[in-house]
Amino acid sequence: MENVSLTQGKTDPAPEAWPREVDGAWQEQMVLQYAPLIKYIAARLSMRLPSHISLEDLISSGIIGLMDAVKKFDPSKNINFKTYAEFRIKGAILDELRNLDWIPRSVRKKSHLLEQVYGELQRSLGRPAEAEEVSAALGLDLEEFHELLDETKTVSLVDLEGIRKTFSKSPEISDKYLPEILQDDRALDPGLAVYFSELQEILAQVIDALPDKEKLLVSLYYYEELTMKEVGQIMGYTESRISQLHTQAVLRLRAALRGYFPDPVPTSKR
Q: What is the pLDDT of residue 148?
A: 94
- Local confidence band at 135 (pLDDT 50, 70, 90 cut-offs): very high
What are the sequence ranges of the domains in the chain? 15-100, 105-257
pLDDT in tens, 18-69: 888 888 888 889 989 999 999 998 988 887 777 778 899 999 999 999 998 8
Q: State the average pLDDT over residues 107-125.
A: 92
Q: State the average pLDDT over residues 202-220.
A: 89
Q: What is the pLDDT of residue 47?
A: 78
Give 159-195 as a DSSP string.
HHHTTHHHHHTSTTS-GGGHHHHHH-GGGS-HHHHHH
Q: Is the pLDDT of residue 205 over 80?
A: yes
Does domain 15-100 fall under CATH 1.10.1740.10? My reply is yes
- Local confidence band at 157 (pLDDT 50, 70, 90 cut-offs): low
Q: State the average pLDDT over residues 2-23.
A: 63
Q: Is the pLDDT of residue 168 over 80?
A: no
Sequence letter at residue 5: S
Q: What is the pLDDT of residue 8?
A: 46
Q: What is the pLDDT of residue 56?
A: 92
Q: In degrees to the nearest 10, what's the CA dihedral of 163, 36, 9, 221?
A: 40
Produce one character per residue of 162-173: b if its CB has 16 or more CB atoms within 10 Å, e if not.
bbbbbbebeeeb
Alpha-helical (H) ranges within the chain are: 24-46, 55-72, 81-100, 105-125, 131-138, 142-161, 164-168, 178-183, 190-208, 212-218, 228-235, 239-257
Q: Is the pLDDT of residue 221 over 70?
A: yes
- Local confidence band at 193 (pLDDT 50, 70, 90 cut-offs): low
Q: What is the pLDDT of residue 140?
A: 95
Domains 15-100 and 105-257 share a fold: no
Domain 105-257 is in which class? mainly alpha
Q: What is the pLDDT of residue 155?
A: 76
Higher pLDDT pick, 131 / 102 = 131
DSSP 269: -
